[in-house]
Amino acid sequence: MKNEFIESIDRAVNNSNLTGALGKFSEAYRVNRAKAYEGVDFDELREKIASIKSAAALELDALAELFRENAEARGAKVFRTDEPVEVKEYILRIARENGVKTIVKSKSMATEEIHLNPFLEKAGIVVKETDLGEWIIQLAGQTPSHMVMPAIHMTREEVSDIFSKEVNERLSSDIPKLVKVAREQLRPFFLNADMGISGANIAVAETGTLVLMTNEGNARLVTTLPRIHVAVVGIEKLVRHFKDIVPIIKALPRSATAQLLTSYVSIITGKTPVTNGNEKELHIILMDNHRSDMAADPVFRQAMQCIRCASCLNVCPVFRLVGGHVFGKVYTGGIGTILTAWFDELGKSSDIQGLCIQCGACKDVCPAKIGIPELIMEIRRRLVTKQGLPLVQKALYSVVNNRRLFHSMLRAASIAGGAFASGGFIRHLPFFLSELTDGRSLPAIAKEPFRDRFTRIRQPVCREKAVFYAGCLIDFAYPEMGEAVVKILNSAGIEVIFPEGQTCCGAPAKYAGAYEVAAANAVDNIKALLLPDVSYVVSACPTCTVALQRDFLKTLEAAGKNKWITKAEELAAKSFDFSSLAKKLAESGRLSFSATDTEACVTYHDSCHLKRSLCIHEEPRTLLNLAGYTIQEMSECDTCCGMGGAYSMKLPEISLPMLKRKLANIDNTKAGTAAMDCPGCVLQIRGGFDRERKNITVKHSVELLAERLKE
Amino acid sequence: MYDQFKVKAEAVSADVLRFQTKGEALDFIFRFMREEGLSTYAGESAVWADGNFIEDIDKNVLEAEGIFFGVTAQRAAGARFGICCMDWAIADTGTLAHDSTSFEKRLVSTLPEIHIAILSAKAILPDLQSFIERVSPEKFPFISLITGPSRTADIERVLTIGVHGPRRLVTVFVDELEVNTDEK
Ligand code: SF4
Ligand code: SF4
């Protein structure tokens, strides 16, 4: 990552106005969004949207032509082009032909994307943004930091300064007064403009209809008052049927601003009369700008489903720390990263893609059902394929796979502490040695890894067998978690096998985009773990479980190692996350706890991969309850703790504030103990409390459960 | 459905009233405008887009009071009140809808500070789905849905009513009014 990029992150994180505004907003958003969706079956709704828009993405050409036919039959002129520059020239030509001096615009991301305003202004035309947020940033000479709320990064004082300059008068920072200034200032432009430029939220092919949704009423005026209306529409807005607009209109305001509906929805089909008694001139520009390429890519096609609601930004723990000017350019946040890679170029996304911690919060709320984190991973993979991995990283991945060497190196590093750690070498090791700056203590690397301690565990004779897959953290830093797993499974009548050949799950490599390395990890693990007469392969690390159940398959496919696919599927079918297996065992009466001390109170942190990739959140709570722990829920229990594997090493500037927030939420419960099911989260959170010298116990659920097994 | 509409519309800061007869509704509208300072002065007048709703009253008398029927952009921009009929209401979101192909309807419902919307109490549909099934864009080139007054939260996420559109939306249901538009 470039230095200037890191600096921009630093500036953003230390801008208390920005982080305060975004933080407050993201908290309120969660609650309000849930309220707006009350009584609506969200999954059914987004299924509908995904199917409408994915079907449209497959027949873009046909839909664009159908749209043209129908819109032109009703008097509109439709211009379709791949090139941003042609969009700009077309608009300028119409403006020139009609003697246009002033243009009013309502919000349009497509025109932001092609930087239309400066182009028209250079040609001597006055262009006024009329959406309040867009007008503010136009006056400030900035770019939008959020797709729905372009000026969310600004305070009322800043807005009042900007407006004061515009009207040449010292204004107060009273918000209703500022809004009134905007109304008064922009009114004459609406009334006198010769051309109105808008975007569109939906374009219906079978009728040639445009749907525009706004709250301020400006789009209504932009499309009603001037004698020429130009709508710039990205072709991803096309749907086939008029009835297709229903689910989109239903979801967009609920997801975007937690409203049931925007104040205004205009459904415009063809030319309409204008005030001077003539017919309005309506031009609709269908803009491609690499959207067809994106639709032709089998992986990225789903990004065409996006309805630009920006809810993926609103829930993103990284976005709320750094805001849109760091996390993206025109299109911001997770989806912005993807759109930038396509509409701009792949290389332009190389810094911002690294901001995604892969927590999956965005995917959960996306009304278009887009797998945003997976698509960002794919960008990462393609970047690595194109540019290659830095040499140091490549060398390290081979070290990672030599388990004993890896362990002794880690151990050495952990003893040497800061001095050793400051060298560039250690900073590139996955996971443990990541956060060597302030805020979190390093985990002590165990003197003896789990793989060696395991050989001394005496197990009872059992009728069933399970393979335990430890993963790096449990093997090298937290062997006691592995011992707890063995103890619990033994008590359920299951003998645990620890195959020596198991190695890193490949997640660090995969998350760095090094799919070749990850695929090699997958093969080694399949060889080691797929044993006869074994009922389960168990992991107590959600990232490892995701690897066992899904990522091995994906990386093998991506690396073209097809002959391993069947084996990978066989392994996936047997693989269990500890808590779901333990819950099953408890339900069938094979596992019981002695819940003596019913006073014990814990709070529970949902790990990203467990909750959102594996959809597991009830199981660990049920188990803890069975073992007599009362759960005191914390605020934002499923928000990322900032660990994200190697992320915390690359971007401590972001990881640390996320951790701080998590620690505060845990502390506020007064529970005294925090339970979680991911050794990575334990590392992050325990280290955080340790640094703060707070006496709060942080444990993996397996440790809490093992303490209370019925003898 | 009226009750549901009322709850939802009031939740987005709209006023909702209901009258049995046209006469009662008109009485209310005139009284309301007078109370809110109706006059012939700029910024205090009214523009009315559906003249036929008040066919029995002498329009010259009303114009003398500041209520104009010839709607132009300038006049609507200078008016405090804009009045028009709506064709439908949608109960589950508190939304009003109309065929606003004639630009007068768009002007009076957007430019003045207060929008008074009149419609038949029989015109309430349960939800967006049933509304979209009922209208065809070929027949109505400009369909508008209006949910509460104009609003923004673009400065510090603080909700502020009345940006480019009206700051108040007064909805007047009339029981005896027939459903206005023959659909599709
Ligand atoms: S996965 Fe998490 S960090 Fe990445 S874009 Fe989505 S919400 Fe943001
Ligand atoms: S990706 Fe999904 S959540 Fe993000 S803007 Fe698009 S539709 Fe909304």
The beta strands (E) that lie in A200-325 are given as 202-204, 209-214, 228-234, 238-239, 264-269, 281-287
Instruction: For residue A300, give every residue at least 6 positions away whose Cβ sits within 8 Å of its Cβ, in sequence order, or none.
Output: A294, A338, A342, A375, A378
User: Tell me, what DSSP letter sits at residue A131?
Assistant: S
pLDDT over threshold 70, residue A163: yes
Q: Is residue B184 part of a domain?
A: no
Q: Do the Cβ atoms of A537 and A548 come closer than 8 Å?
A: yes
Per the structure, the complete domain to which residue B114 belongs is given by 2-174
- Per-residue pLDDT band for A397 (boundaries 50, 70, 90) equals low
User: A169-195 as b/e, with b when 16 or more CB fall inside 10 Å?
Assistant: eebebebeebbebbbebbeebbbebbb
Instruction: For residue A590, give every residue at least 6 positions away whose Cβ sits within 8 Å of its Cβ, in sequence order, or none.
Output: A492, A493
Q: Is residue B182 part of a domain?
A: no
pLDDT of residue A250: 96
The ligand that comes nearest to the alpha carbon of residue A337 is 1
Spatial CA neighbour of A538 closest among A484, A607, A618, A600: A484
Average pLDDT score over residue span A339-368: 83
- Per-residue pLDDT band for A441 (boundaries 50, 70, 90) equals very low
pLDDT over threshold 80, residue A395: no
Q: Is residue B74 part of a domain?
A: yes
Average pLDDT score over residue span A641-666: 80
| Amino acid, single-letter form, for residue A461 | V
List, in sequence order, every residue forming a beta bridge with B174; answer none if it has no partner. B19, B120
CA distance B168 to B162: 7
Query: Is A708 in a helix, a strand, or coil?
Result: coil
- Stronger pLDDT, A420 or A561, i.e. the higher one: A561
The ligand that comes nearest to the alpha carbon of residue A306 is 2
CA distance B36 to A409: 80
- Per-residue pLDDT band for B58 (boundaries 50, 70, 90) equals confident
| Amino acid, single-letter form, for residue A185 | Q
CA distance B13 to B138: 32
CA distance B162 to B146: 13
pLDDT of residue A432: 37
Query: Is A709 in a helix, a strand, or coil?
Result: strand
Going by their DSSP bridges, the two strands A536-539 and A575-577 should be labelled as: parallel
Ligand 1 atom with least separation from CA of A357: 3
Whether the CB of A705 is below 8 Å from some CB of chain B: the reply is: no
Terminal Cα-to-Cα distance of chain B (whole angstroms): 23
CA of A358 to the centre of ligand 1 (A): 5
Q: Is residue B130 part of a domain?
A: yes
> What is the total count of domains within chain B?
1
Average pLDDT score over residue span A441-449: 68
The CATH number linked to B60 is 3.40.50.10420
- Per-residue pLDDT band for A645 (boundaries 50, 70, 90) equals low
CA of A28 to the centre of ligand 2 (A): 19
Residue owning the nearest CA to atom 2 of ligand 2? A366
Average pLDDT score over residue span A273-302: 87
Residue A248, Cα to own-chain centre: how many angstroms? Answer: 21
- Stronger pLDDT, A264 or B58, i.e. the higher one: A264
User: Tell me, what DSSP letter sits at residue A334?
Assistant: H
CA of A306 to the centre of ligand 2 (A): 5
Quick check: CB of A357 below 6 Å from ligand 1?
Answer: yes
Question: What chain A residue is nearest to B152 in terms of C-alpha separation?
Answer: A216
- Per-residue pLDDT band for A319 (boundaries 50, 70, 90) equals confident
pLDDT of residue B52: 64
Quick check: CB of A362 below 6 Å from ligand 1?
Answer: yes
- Give residue-wise pLDDT tens across range A545-557: 999 999 999 999 9
pLDDT over threshold 90, residue A357: no
Do the chains contact at B150 and A28, CB–CB below 8 Å?
no
CA distance A71 to A270: 6
Helix axes A132-140, A156-167, angle to 10 degrees: 70
Q: Is residue B64 part of a domain?
A: yes
CA of A337 to the centre of ligand 2 (A): 12
List, in sequence order, every residue forming a beta bridge with B84; answer none if it has no partner. B117
Question: What chain A residue is nearest to B99 in terms of C-alpha separation?
Answer: A267
pLDDT of residue B45: 92
**Least CB-CB distance to B142: which of A132, A155, A272?**
A272
Do the chains contact at A175 and B156, CB–CB below 8 Å?
yes
Chain A residues closer than 8 Å to B5 by CB: none
User: A68-83 as b/e, with b when 16 or more CB fall inside 10 Å?
Assistant: bebbeebbbbbbbeee
Question: How crowded is the C-beta side of A164, counted as CA atoms within 13 Å?
Answer: 12
Quick check: CB of A336 below 6 Å from ligand 1?
Answer: no
The ligand that comes nearest to the alpha carbon of residue A53 is 2
Kindly report which listed range (A230-244, A425-439, A510-524, A659-673) carries the lowest average pLDDT score: A425-439
Spatial CA neighbour of A551 closest among A538, A539, A569: A569
What's the CATH class of domain A403-587? mainly alpha
- Give residue-wise pLDDT tens across range B92-109: 999 999 998 888 899 999
Instruction: Note the residue count of chain B.
Output: 184
What order of strands is seen across the sheet that includes strand A575-577?
A494-497, A464-469, A536-539, A575-577
pLDDT of residue A531: 92
Q: Is residue B27 part of a domain?
A: yes
CA distance A134 to A454: 62
pLDDT over threshold 60, residue A245: yes
Spatial CA neighbour of A447 closest among A482, A470, A420, A479: A479
| Amino acid, single-letter form, for residue A214 | T
Residue owning the nearest CA to atom 6 of ligand 2? A306
Q: What percent of chain A has pLDDT over 90?
A: 58
Q: Is residue B183 part of a domain?
A: no
Best residue among A309, A313, A365 to mutate for probing ligand 2's pocket (most ligand atoms within 8 Å of CB) is A309
pLDDT of residue A690: 81
Mark residue A309 as left, alpha or beta (left: phi above 0; alpha: psi -120 to 50; beta: remaining).
alpha
Q: Tell me if A403-587 shares its fold with A600-706.
A: no
pLDDT of residue A657: 86
Query: Is B15 in a helix, a strand, or coil?
Result: strand
Do the chains contact at A250 and B73, CB–CB below 8 Å?
no
| Amino acid, single-letter form, for residue A114 | I
* pTM > 0.95: yes or no: no
Instruction: For residue A282, give every residue at least 6 positions away whose Cβ sits within 8 Å of its Cβ, in sequence order, or none.
Output: A71, A75, A76, A77, A228, A229, A231, A268, A270, A271, A272
Q: Domain residues of chain A, as ranges?
A: 51-154+189-291, 403-587, 600-706
Q: What is the largest CA-CA distance in chain B?
A: 49
Average pLDDT score over residue span A95-114: 93
Residue reference for tokens 């790990």: A607
What would the CATH number be for the domain defined by A600-706?
3.40.50
Q: What is the mean pLDDT of chain A?
A: 86
Q: Do the Cβ atoms of A63 and A265 come closer than 8 Å?
A: no
* Topology (CATH level 3) of domain A51-154+189-291: Rossmann fold (3.40.50)
**Least CB-CB distance to A132: which of B106, B143, B163?**
B163
pLDDT of residue B183: 53
What are the residue ranges of helices labelled H in A193-278?
218-224, 245-257
CA of A307 to the centre of ligand 2 (A): 6
Count helices and strands in chain A by DSSP H and E runs: 37, 18
pLDDT of residue A351: 73
- Stronger pLDDT, B12 or A599, i.e. the higher one: B12
pLDDT of residue A390: 59
